[in-house]
Chains A and B, each alone.
Chain A
């Protein structure tokens, strides 16, 4: 079957099998390998992308179902050579180690900040609770999101770990 969707602002049309998962469509057919795959049961969130502005697990969406919709992946966070604040937050606060969960975490937390510009620690933890990180222990991810929130609000006073004033 043929499917057409908007991915990161571009219209794409491909011939696919009806059973193809969106995560494999993005990775294998479009070469957008920033979106990862980490489980068979929709538990890990490594595959999180946006579908019409909402985070979804792309391993639970058929590529065919995304037809006519708009998909955004981690590759589109950086705009015109400018990193998104959330990307900078993860770098500043060591919100990643192996980097495998990172694209999914970035997409979910960017969406969180869009609807809730100054989330509490609990709200951040809740927002990423459908995702697994095996490296960070989550505290630095929480800090990364708080950093980005403060940066966007222009109220950033706390420094990241080890940062010199």
Chain B
């Protein structure tokens, strides 16, 4: 294991990474800094029409009538679509990624506020909006279920009466771990601490909203769909299944995407409406949702009520963890998680600790709120799991009067325990958790911080120090365990070396800002030795890239990244055969030095990969049974997830007069195994830390008792700006994964997952003088003020 210093800006760690081509700036930046990115709404096609969606202003009710006469009469309107019209084509409902169904346009019932009711297609976007006003819909309101805690009461109205035999709002029950064994440990434990905590509903809110441009060619029957999708190939398959279009005639293009964070994984009604509109009008049609639509109708995240308990000895040895979770899934089960994991990877709630037993029982319910659930860089609910365990450990430290760092050090898994099978059956690949934590303590000067805190407390100032030590589970996933709607979670990659020695890599995942055009070129460059500048990465177009499941859950590096390594090795192996033929030696006589094959013992006799590429397409006699050309293809199933880890320390100051929290310092030490591009890793960590500040202190999608969404704009749904976040301090350790060909692990969501508990722990620590043990996010000044005055309330 290497321990890195806290990198100052001039830090150079090229030697520590495998991609030894020196510092690598991002290839994609050249277009973005010139304003030449190509995002969905930038696409203009000749004769293109614009689509807008009418949404229901009520949260629960029946549609009595929909009158579109006036809208149809608008001079600029080309088409008005309703649920009834879609029903005629069998398209009124669509499957969700969790095997539930959801209306494309409501036919008879509204299930959540701002659900899709009708669409208008017009000559321009303003006219389309005008015509929405001309549609007259009459509703009959029904009682509303907003609070998950009351969703299963006998008096609660049944939201999903479309499901045969449904008599309540139960979505599913799920459990993991060993209840009996866990209860037995709890029964004899010296110390048991329990805490209820809410992870509020939040929204990923990428800066670019969702949208699509559909262009259907009625002559060939070809559909081209540009859409804000993190999973173009999976979407293509689903469109084929839903709309009955032949899959080979559908081309899904995911152009430049202005941030995804899980918001752009599901298929939204707007995409299907856009396709239908193009098919019916014979013209290209564009739909771009506005921010209000994005926040109120697309994939939310979290919304878990968790009751957790932790059992330990008096000396602080953690023995067991158990939890009951109430999960609010909204009106339709729209989680984008592997089929066998209805609660995503929440099962990793045992965290980074060596314990004896664990159990979780979960009930998920339907409510009159927008669907979604797995989004906002949560790594399929690892965010909720990490929050639960890291808050519980702090509650235990409080109970025992122990320092939260000492308590953690006592219980962390040790390096020799890996691969480690957790009490809920997850196989952690590798880690050196103590070193990671010690690195963070060093950067933070933890002892110094505690001294400073003691001095400040003495003078009435509220300074808090919060720690979180987390283990992530990313890179879905192994074929035997993981699928979405029956599609195994494998990724394809194709690599072609051209005669002049430059290369094109085609990958199935695509980028929403991760910089794949750069990092994937680096991966291939390392494996075959040609410069990254000579490698073009093609992605985000189903006609131009191999099948794969897309970019979410931090799976690009663990799955597609591994595919890129292995496909490059296939090419190298073929080049090895050619080199032996060209040099008239055996394969065993040759050794590979990055970029060339050398005859062992006669290193002057060598061939570069570029020379071999040229020969591969030439006229020389090929080895027996080997085709010419220099290209390869792979469809890669990972054998396991990867388990990056981190140790975070947050320092806050709380104003005792206003309850305003200032994050003064934040130290993040991450271990994502082998580091491909340190600059990009640091950027991804910074992003997640900012998410953490948002979720812990500012963000919440909230509703009134009638189901009105109260966070429908960026005035009400507060996102961190440059003023709310500190100058991040990052560090790293490197513990390669044995389950990845270059030892890399996913990093994209670690900080989003790991930072919220560090911030909440810091705030609770600051408020120790107030006797506070827990307060639910978001810790806005008003909510925290109530907590300081003994009136802590769960968020609604």
A residues in contact (CB < 8 Å) with B: 17, 19-20, 24, 27-28, 31-41, 43-44, 46, 73-75, 77-78, 83, 87, 90-92, 94, 96-103, 106, 121, 124-126, 128-143, 158-165
Contacts and interface: CB of A to CB of B under 8 A. Distances in A.
**Secondary structure at chain B's binding surface: helix, strand, loop or mixed?**
loop
Given A39-B291, A87-B33, A99 B258 contact: yes
User: Which of B41, B685, B688, B714 has the most chain A CB within a 10 Å cutoff?
Assistant: B714
A99 B727 contact: no
A96 B291 contact: no
A161 B116 CA distance: 46
A94 B9 contact: no
Contact of B10 (A75, A132, A137, A163): A163
B290 A40 contact: yes
9 contacts: A31-B44, A34-B36, A36-B208, A40-B291, A40-B713, A73-B35, A98-B207, A134-B687, A137-B688
A83 B33 CA distance: 9
Contacts of A34: 34-37
Interface string B20-52: 001111101111111111110110100000000
Nearest to B288: A37
B680 interface: yes
Contacts of B684: 97
A132 B714 contact: yes
A140 B685 CA distance: 11
Given A102-B33, A134-B205, A142 B679 contact: no
Contact of A159 (B9, B14, B513): B9
Interface string B664-694: 0000000000000011101111111110000
Interface residues of B, number: 69
Interface string B253-278: 00011110100000000000000000
B23 A74 contact: no
A38 B40 CA distance: 12
Interface stretch (B141-149, B419-427, B575-583, B717-725): B717-725
A164 B35 contact: no
Contacts of B715: 41, 43
B34 A39 contact: no
B13 interface: yes
A165 to B, nearest CB: 7
A100 B683 contact: no
Given A43-B714, A99-B29, A24 B291 contact: no
Contact of A41 (B30, B31, B713, B728): B713
Given A34-B36, A160-B9, A162-B14, A125 B723 contact: yes
Interface string B118-138: 000000111000000000000
Contacts of A125: 722-723
Nearest to A35: B35
Contacts, number: 207
B38 to A, nearest CB: 8
Nearest to A37: B41
Contacts of A158: 9-10
B34 A90 contact: no
Contact of A99 (B22, B513, B721): B513
B727 A161 contact: no
A32 B23 contact: no
Contacts of A87: 33-34
A99 B28 contact: yes
Contacts of A101: 207
B453 to A, nearest CB: 25
Contacts of A126: 722-723
A96 B686 contact: no
Given A125-B722, A158-B9, A36 B39 contact: yes
A160 B723 CA distance: 23
User: Which of B31, B35, B257, B687 has the most chain A CB within a 10 Å cutoff?
Assistant: B35
Interface in B560-593: none
Nearest to B24: A162
A99 B514 CA distance: 10
Contacts of A137: 683, 685-690, 725, 728
Contact of A44 (B7, B207, B688): B207
Given A97-B514, A165-B10, A43 B713 contact: yes
Contacts of A131: 721-722
A134 B375 CA distance: 14
Given A43-B714, A135-B513, 7 more contacts: A35-B35, A98-B207, A128-B722, A136-B683, A161-B11, A161-B682, A164-B12
Closest 4 CB pairs of A and B: A34-B35, A98-B513, A99-B32, A137-B686
A24 B50 CA distance: 13
A33 B9 contact: no
Contacts of A138: 686, 690, 721-722, 725
A142 B423 CA distance: 44
B515 interface: yes
B35 A100 contact: no
B291 A38 contact: yes
B686 A139 contact: yes
Contacts of A24: 125
B522 interface: no
B735 interface: no
Nearest to A125: B722
A77 B33 CA distance: 9
B707 interface: no
User: Which of A40, A124, A136, A164 has the most chain B CB within a 10 Å cutoff?
Assistant: A40
A142 B727 contact: yes
B512 interface: yes
A39 B205 CA distance: 10
B292 interface: yes
